[in-house]
Every structure is written in structure tokens, then in C-alpha cells.
Structure 1
Amino acid sequence: MSALRRLAPLGAGLLLLTTACTSGADGPGGGDGGSGPPATDAEAAERAEAVLGEMSLDDKVGQLLVLNAAGTTPDENAQAIADYRPGGLIYFPENLGSPAEIAELSNGLQETAAGEGAGVPLMLGVDQEQGMVARLEEGTRFPDAMAVGATRDTGQAEALASATAAELSAVGINLDYAPVADVNTDADNPVIGIRSFGADPGLVGRMASAEAGAFADGGVVPVVKHFPGHGDTGTDSHTGLPVIEKDRADWERDDLPPFAEAVDAGVDAIMTAHVVMPALDDSGEPATLSPEVIDGVLRDELGYDGVVTTDALNMEGVRQTHDDGEVAVRAVEAGADQLLMPPDPEAAFAAVRSAVDEGRIGEDRLDASVRRILELKAKRGILDAEPVDPDAAAEVFSSDDTAAAAQGLADASVTMLRNEGGALPVDEGARVAVQGVGAEEISAALEDLGVRTTGTASGADLVVVGTNGARGDAEQRRAVEQAASGGAPVAVVAQGTPYDLQALPDVDAYLAVYSSVPVSRTAAARAVAGEVDPKGELPVPIPETGMEYGDGLSY
């Protein structure tokens, strides 16, 4: 049986799950900032064809590049925009100040791009997954994706994405490299972990598609990542090249469903992973450079016709066997449309330009990528973007409703996995010692709730110890052991993955909040005090503990 026929039932089976998300992925692209009105597919195609017809070869090659933004002013980017005419730029913290400053930078960059080549507006992107991956210093901080998974509520995923999109749109950012659709099946995964919604493919698919739809509805292009899956690896592709040794059937069962659901929902863009998966391509090339993975599986088998972007090309996972120019060319040959963060933009531009001149990359192939990029820009209103209002941006970033949504998500995510002797919630009038990771914020939140706190375990009725990665941190484990030696019950608040329970088998109570952002620490305090009934459900099994997917206690 062919691979295509084996995938067909899976796609059909997912159709019912994705119906509710399809309108989101194809829905309105306008927002309060930047983007113009959305276009229908037919209007977007017509507009893209008209723009494509006005572009030179250099303009077309440039559209494939998404470069690191430089500095905090348009002038610092003017030369790169003139030289390479990039399709987009990506922001990092060093580029980002106050909301007004980001808005002014975005406006200036779009004005600069309008004066070069064909004058095509830029995709201005950022990694704002929320939780541990959030580049903007100001704005609402929601918990990580695994906390969203623990709620089992797609409405929480939509709330996160809607609020994030509103803030990004207000400052002229029209693309977010989120959500993560990786299924975290390796407890030792060093790079995904709490960035994943969980270990169940169906849960991850529902949450990722819900977020993607809400981002698009808010005028921000979502990028679902990292195809064909980065959740089952013990290597970080930023520093090495992961090899995922699993057969095709296991991949289809464990990793494929969220991406298949995203394809069915018509998601705007999908990012490749710098991982080797021999079951899909035995050449030894990472998926980013693999025609078998991108053109073969993603486009031909799954039928995806949207924009494919590489993961960052400055990562070691994609730089081990070719120079930077050759990497860019091979990514295009494999089927990628956008080249994210080439470490040497001049080399990438020149290599792709030469490959087109020499016929290695046909002009029709180049046009196909540029057409997809332009259609997406038209569809989400980027081709008609208006300047954003810097003075209004701060108001969007200070919304009480958004802050309440973040706290509501955090409260709903709290998962209680142990409560020996009814250690939680703490009795009225009890003294609680708070130690370890996040102690200051957890203690402050308890005090706000009227709970008496102390920094020392001596004389305490309960000791709360915060952890984050205790499985790999002997000092954190010792802190829990020392807390237990005082005789009072010990409640651990795990603020990273819930797998810390493996290393702390004897604690009296164990709360997982899956994030170290302030609202998650407040949610933990609220659960300790009994203000929140922990209703979260474990989104991953915890090996060697007996804890299974879906476990969770309540008061």
C-alpha cells in the first residue's frame, strides 16, 4: 500500500476535528494595527499575480529571505533592505523597546521597504509563543503551551492567541512563529518540553489549530512548527542534529496528526525542523533540506499548498554538511518558500540567485514560492498595511481583560498529582514556609490571600518548595529533602515539566503549573490557599511514577 493511501484515512478522520478551526485559519486578517482588510483566496491570487508581474529577479529572490532585524531603528536596516529586498524581518529582544518604540520601528521598516525594488511590504515576525519563549518585554505573559494542554479547553488556546495577536498587531508585527505542534513524547527533550501542548496527538492537534485560527482572526500570520516533529528527541537542533529513529507507522501515529489537522484547517504557514528522520528520508539530510519530507510528504501526500518556512538557518542542526549558501539553495530545492535567518544573507542571496541563473532552480520554481508568499500577504492584508498608531499601542498592552484571561488560564491549568494526608489546601491560620524556585512571587501571592508566610521551615505548618527541572538539578532535589527533614508536610510546585515528580517520589503534595510566569506562580498560591480547586489534567504521562495522561486530583 502506498504511503499516500495509508495517510488518506488519517486525513479523513481528522476532518471532523478541524471543521471548527477552518473558519479561523481562513478568517478575517484585519486587526487594530497594521494589516489592511483580508482578501478572499481568489482576490489574494489575483493580487499576488499582479505584484509578481512587476518584480525583478532580485526582488523575487529577496522575497524568500527573512532576515534578523538590526538594532532599534529603520536606518540600521536600510542597507540590508536595499541590498536584499527581503520578504520579512524577525524581531528579537534587542530590537524591542516600549510598545510605542516597536510601533515606530515597524512603521519605519515598512516605509523603507516601500521605497526599494517592487516595494512589497514586509512580514514582520517574532517568536511569541508565550511562556518561556516570549520576546516582548512588555505585554501580557500567558503560561506555556503545556499549561494550555492541561486545561483541555480550546477556548483557553484561542484566548491566548487572540490576546497575543492584539498586542502584536498594535505594534505592527504581522507574523508569529507559533504555535508549536510538536508532540512531546520524550521526557528528556531539551528544547520542546513545556512548549508542547502535551503527549497526546489529538490534544496537540486541537490546541494548535485553535491557536492558529485565533492568530489569523487577529490579523497575525501563524506559523505551525516544527514539521515533521521535534517532540521525540534528546538533542537540541540549535546545537546539534537530532536523529529520530522511529518507523513510519509510529511517526504517523505519534507526530503527524497535529500537522495533518493544521493542513486540513488551511493554516497559513508551516515551519520545518532540523531533524533527520530516516523513516521519511534515509539520505541523512535534515527535514529542512529534504525534498522527500517537504515536497514528498508535506506537499504531495498531505496536500499542503501554503507557505513553508525553514527553522532558523543559523542553527547547527542545518549547518553540519553544507556551507551557508548551499544550505539556502538546498532548502529551496527541497520545497521551502522562506529562508529564515540565514547567517550570511549575502551568501544566501547570491547562491539562490546563481542557482536560478544556472537553471538549478527553475524560474517557475522560484515564482511558485514567491506567489505563495505574496498570496499570504494579500490574504492577511499585509500588502495593504497601514501605519500603526504608536500612541495607541500602550493601551492595548495594558488591558485588564487580557491580564484576567492569562490568570484564568493559569488557574485552570493547575494539576494536583499528590496530596497525602490532605496537606492541601492549607488550613486557615497556618504558617507556610516558601522556598526554592519562584519563592518570592509565590510567597507574595499567598500573603495577598491572607496566608501567613515565612522563609524558614522551622515552626511552619507547611513547606512549599518551587522547582523547575529538578530531575537534572541536584541542588533543587536537596532543597526538597532539607525541607522534608523539618517534619512539616512538603508541597512541591513544579514550574517546568511535570517530570520532576520522578526525582521527588516522597513529597506530600505535588502541584504542576507547567510555567514560571507570574500568573502561574499566583495560580499555585491560589491552589495552596484553596482559592482555586486544581482541575488541570496531566497532559503527559510521567514515566516510572504510575502517573498517566489525564491524571489529576482536586479538592
Structure 2
Amino acid sequence: MKRLRLSSSIHVIHIFLASLLIVMGCQGFFTKQEVQLPEPWELLSLEQKVAQMIMFRLKGDLIDPESKEREKFQRWITEIGVGGVVVYGGGLKETFDRIQIAQGWADIPLFVAADYERGLGQWYDGATLFPTNMAVAATGRNVMAYQQGKITAIEAKAFGVNMIFAPVLDVNNNPDNPIINFRSYGDDPRTVSIFGNSFIRGVQEEGLYACVKHFPGHGNTGTDSHTKLPIIPGSKKDFSNIELPPFKSAVKHGVKMVMTGHVIVPGIDRSKKPATLSPVITNELLRKRLGFEGLIVTDAMEMGGLKDIDPGEACVRAVEAGADLIMLPHDVDTTMKAIMNAVENERITEERINESVKRIWYAKEELGLFQDSGKKEWKVAEDVIGNSGHKKIAADIAQLSITAVKDENNLLQHMSDFKRIAHVVLTMDENSQKYLQPMKARIDAAYKDRKEIVITEKLSKKQIDEISAKFKDVDLAIVSILVRIRMNKGIATIDRSHARL
């Protein structure tokens, strides 16, 4: 595929102008007709336009010239001309270098997106890690969500990331939800709206794009869409009262980007198409009824929620539904071929592709990518990411989030009166000792002779009885529960048998 550099586009425009003046001759000096220049994106071929709609997962060794990932990714960026990448874990410097290498390959600067719901510290040691959204809401101060969004954007910008796939605007109105849970600000649509909008403002004031998810709502389900396709119950009225208000509010307040979810919502679309592939939900509801004019990105197309649909066909349906960006398809080449075939067979019009590419180009201009080509300096990033001021604000949020849900016997006021103490740890997380170390240290310092019981597995009735017997000589039990959401597994790191204990 022929590469088209930005500089080449500019030369084409200049040549076009010069030719036009020659043809017009002296007449050009006596008429007031304005020459309508084509937009740079209009000079792209159809293939280059389609490529701008694709974002793949950037990972692996991009330095070793023998690396197969380097060879493949470089071809996707330089020859095909994909529009963006998504980064996840790895070392901080390693990922920074990976982003810079990828931007260096690109003729048209790349969108670089990341799931920073809790800041960069969610993925990288040393960066600022914030508490979960539910904890942020527990502070009762939406300015904390604003501060979190602002700091996350400052660190992401220095890192080379220009799009943040956050905040989660799902209302957590199902206690059995295995994937949204405390990623949500809570079960009240108004609270979710207030804190979500504050986070968005913090991000976008720093010149980055915030992306709300998972439209039209992923809260009312007991299924993880990373593994299979959830069906969200409820009528259109239910959705209008609970799920939609946070998204409607975010659109009203100027959010730049919306991610559609892999969820079936019969109350909105009776055809039972997943929202990502539903023109009723993506185009009719989001675009037309809510009036959203920004970028629409799919949730990851590689997720288990779409496993029963051919990967290429799923991407075509997402474009038909109204998506501007296809995120993490199974394979870039397969996706390109499928969408190109759909256009050539007149299933999708080139005008429909143009609508998305125009939005993509405007977004890249607004993000300043044509000014700095997405290039960043490691020294600047190193000074900004995880600095003491940022971490102090994250710690303040954590402190303010501590909530006494119930204290009927006023135990919190009399903790020092008890001498025979047991500290019980309940979790199935393999890193529990690391995460609970601060709590453990405080308890150990306060109660030298405490008894410690660590439970990291599902318990049988016999085990419950055996553990219960250990509490006969205990006056007070302090139970630390570490719960983490396990994406792709549809579970949390806590078991019902722990509740029975």
C-alpha cells in the first residue's frame, strides 16, 4: 500500500493551487471566487481512511529487529497506516519507549489510549494509583474525582497517552455484577453523573480525551462481557431512569468520547443485537437522541462477549452501527479486508467511512498530534509520573473514603479495651500479602500478641468449623477483606464460603 506522508499532502495542495492559478490566468486577479481546498483527510485513499478507524494492542519487544511483533506492528503502522494503539501493562520505561517507537513509525500520528480508571499506577509500579471509583464517591467530595482526572491526564500526557478510557459511568445496580462492581461510582445515577463529570473535566482541561463507558450501561448484570454476552434486563423506562442519565449528562457536559459495551439491551433494541453492533443503540440513541457528536469507540472486539460472531463480520457490523474506532480487533489485516470488502460490495458507503475519518482527523488536530507528532521526553515523564504531590492527593482520597457502614456496639471507640485479638485475612487474590501489608503493619504495632488467620481459598464446611474453633479464646476479631475484580474470569477475589465463615 502506498504511504501518504503529511508533508506529501501539503505539497499536493500547493501543486493544486499553482495549477489552478495557471489555468485561471489573469482572470484569477479579477474574480472574488474563493478556492475550496480539500481537507487533508480527504486526500487519503479508501484503504488509508479505513485504517485510521482501527486501534490495536501495542505490546512486546519493539527494539529487537528480529522480533515478530515488531515486524508485524511496524507493517500495520507504516504500510497499512492504522489510526491508533492501546497500551496496557509492562515496565514504565519499556512502555514509554514502545509508544515513542510506534509514533516514530507513523506518518499520521497515532491515538494512544489506555485504561487508566485508577491512574497510571493501575498498570505501572511507581506511578500514581488512586482508589476505585466507589471509594472516590465515598469521600462525598466530587472535587476528588476532578483531581484524580487531572493528575491522571498530566501523567498520561507526559507518558505519551492521549486518550483515557475512563470514567466508568455504569450504575452498579446489581450486587452480583462480577465486572463493574466498585469500578462504578455507586448505585445512584445522580452520584455517578456528578463524580463522572468531575473526572471528565479534570482530564479534558489538560487537553486529553476522556472516554465514558460502557454505553448504554453495564451495571445491571451478573455476567462479565469479557467472557460471554450479558443481557441487561429492564424496560426503556427503566433505562431512561437509571442507566442513561450519567451518559446523557456526560454528553451534555462535553465528553469527547464514548465507548459502547458488548451488552444486549432488549428494552432498547428488540433485535437483541449487542450495543456495539446495534444501529438502534449506537446511532439512533447515542448519536441522534442524545446528540453526541464526538468519537464512538467499540469495547475490545477480541472479548468473549462477541466470540460467536466471525471477527471480521463483527467489525463490519460495528461500523454499520455507527462506531468510529474499532478497538482491539482479533487481527488488523482481517479487519481491513472485511471492511474494504463491505465498502466495495456497497454494504457500507464511502460516505459512512468519511464521517468517521473526519471526526478522527479533527480529534487528532484537537489533541495537538500534528504539532508534536505525539513525541515525548523521558526526563519530563520521569519527573511528572508518580511525584509526591500526586501521590499525596491519592492518599488523601483513600483516607477520606474510609467509611463506617455500621457500628452498633460502638466498637470503634473501644478498640484499645480488647487484649485477645485475632486478625483474619479473607481473599483469593495471589498478591494479598503485598496489598494488605500496610493494614497488617498497623495491627501488628497496636496488638503485639494478636493471632493471625489468613484464608486464601474456598472453604468447605469442615474447614469453616475448624477455623471457627480458633476464635474460642478471642475477644475481638478484625477481618481484612481484599476484593479485586478479575477481568476475563468473571469473578471477584472473594468467595461465598467466606461469608458463611
TM-score by length of 2: 0.80
Question: Of the two, which has the highest radius of gyration?
Answer: 2
Report the secondary structure of 1:418's partner residue: coil
- Alignment counterpart, residue 89 of structure 1, candidates 85, 88, 92: 85
Aligned 8 A contact 1:430 1:451 in 2 = no
Question: Which residue number corresponds to residue 124 of structure 2?
Answer: 136
Contact 2:302 2:330 in 1 (8 A): yes
2:3 is aligned to none
Q: Deviation at 1:181?
A: 0.4
The Cα RMSD (Å) is: 3.2
1:359 is matched with which residue: 342, 346, 363? Answer: 346
Q: Which residue of 2 aligns with 1:339?
A: 326
Residue in 2 that maps onto 1:8: none
* Residues 169, 193 of structure 2: 8 Å contact kept: yes
Flag the 1:270–1:279 CA change in 2: closer, same or farther, 3 A: same
2:423 maps to which of 427, 434, 438: 434
Contact 2:420 2:473 in 1 (8 A): no
Quick one: which of 475, 481, 487 aligns to 1:488? Answer: 475
Structure 1 residues 22-44: Cα deviation after superposition (integer angstroms, max 9, x where no partner):
xxxxxxxxxxxxxxxxxxxxxxx
Specify whether residues 430 and 236 from structure 1 end up closer, same or farther in structure 2 by C-alpha distance, changes over 3 A only. same
List, as ranges, runs of 4+ consecutive aligned residues in structure 1 with deviation greater than 6 Å. Answer: 465-468, 472-480, 497-507
Instruction: Tell me the CA shift for residue 467 of structure 1.
Output: 8.9
2:169 counterpart letter in structure 1: A
Q: Secondary structure at the match of 1:222?
A: strand
1:251-286: CA deviation from partner (whole Å, max 9, x where unpaired): 111100110011101111100011111111111210
Distance 2:45 2:459 in 1: 55
Aligned to 2:26: none
> Deviation at 1:380?
2.0
Q: Which moved more, 1:263-272 or 1:382-391?
A: 382-391
Q: Distance in 2 between matches of 1:403 and 1:105?
A: 25
Three-state SS of the structure 2 residue aligned to 1:309 is strand
How far the C-alpha of 1:355 sits from its partner, in A, is: 1.3
- Contact kept, 8 Å, 1:434 with 1:455, in 2: the verdict is no
Do the aligned partners of 2:418 and 2:475 also contact (CA within 8 Å) in 1? no
Please tell me the residue identity of whatever aligns with 2:92. S
Structure 1 residue 106 and structure 2 residue 99: aligned? yes
Q: For residue 87 of structure 1, what is the amino acid of its counterpart?
A: G
Partner of 1:377: 364
Residues 151-179 of structure 1: CA distance to partner in whole angstroms, max 9, x if unpaired? Answer: 12111111212222222111111111111
State whether residues 203 and 209 of structure 2, in contact with CA within 8 Å, keep that contact through their aligned partners in structure 1.
yes
> The residue matched to 1:415 in structure 2 has which SS?
coil
Separation in 1 of the partners of 2:119 and 2:408? 30
Counterpart AA for 2:377: D
The residue identity in structure 1 corresponding to 2:312 is G
One-letter code of the match for 1:194?
F
Question: How far apart are residue 451 of structure 1 and its match?
Answer: 3.5
CA contact (8 A) 2:425 2:480 kept: no
CA spacing shift, 1:483–1:124, aligned 2, 3 Å: farther
**Residue 236 of structure 1: aligned partner:** 224
In the alignment, structure 1 segments of 5+ residues that lack a partner are 1-47, 114-118, 458-462, 508-555
Between the aligned partners of 1:169 and 1:480, the Cα distance in structure 2 is 50
1:224 paired residue number: 212
State the shift of 1:193 in Å: 0.5
TM-fit CA distance, 1:92: 2.1
Distance in 2 between residues matched to 1:314 and 1:497, nearest whole Å: 23
Q: For 1:47-446, list aligned pairs within 5 A.
A: 50-73=39-62, 76=70, 77-93=73-89, 96-99=90-93, 101-113=94-106, 119-130=107-118, 134-320=122-308, 322-385=309-372, 386-425=374-413, 426-427=415-416, 433-437=422-426, 438=432, 442=436, 444-445=438-439
Structure 2 counterpart of 1:202, which letter? Answer: R
Quote the residue 1:516 is aligned against.
none
Distance 2:197 2:369 in 1: 22
Secondary structure of the structure 2 residue equivalent to 1:66: strand
The DSSP-based 3-state class of the residue aligned with 1:424 is: helix
Q: Secondary structure at the match of 2:212?
A: strand
For the residues of structure 1 that align with 2:277 and 2:316, how far apart are their CA atoms? 9
State, as a whole percentage, how many aligned pairs show the same letter. Answer: 31
How far has the Cα of 1:432 moved from its partner? 5.1
TM-score by length of 1: 0.73
Aligned length: 443
Asked if the contact 2:115/2:165 (under 8 Å) is kept, the reply is yes
Partner of 2:11: none
Aligned to 2:153, what secondary structure does the other structure show?
Answer: helix
Separation in 2, partners of 1:356, 1:282: 27
Identify which range, 388-397 or 198-207, moves more after superposition: 388-397
Q: Quick one: distance in 1 between partners of 2:232 and 2:53?
A: 28
Measured after TM superposition, the shift of residue 66 of structure 1 is 0.4
- Which range moved further: 76-85 or 416-425? 416-425
CA distance in 1, matches of 2:467, 2:280: 49
User: Is the contact between residue 483 and residue 490 of structure 1 (CA under 8 Å) also seen in structure 2?
Assistant: no
Structure 1 contact 435–466 (Cα < 8 Å) conserved:
yes
Quote the offset at 1:220 in angstroms: 2.5
- State the shift of 1:105 in Å: 2.2
| Structure 2 unmatched runs, 5+ | 1-36, 427-431, 486-491
| Residues 403/102 of structure 1: CA separation in 2 closer, same or farther (3 Å cut) | same
**Kept after mapping to 1: 8 A contact 2:422/2:474:** no
Give the 3-state SS of the residue equivalent to 2:412 in structure 1: coil
Pair 1:154–1:83, CA change in 2 (3 A): same
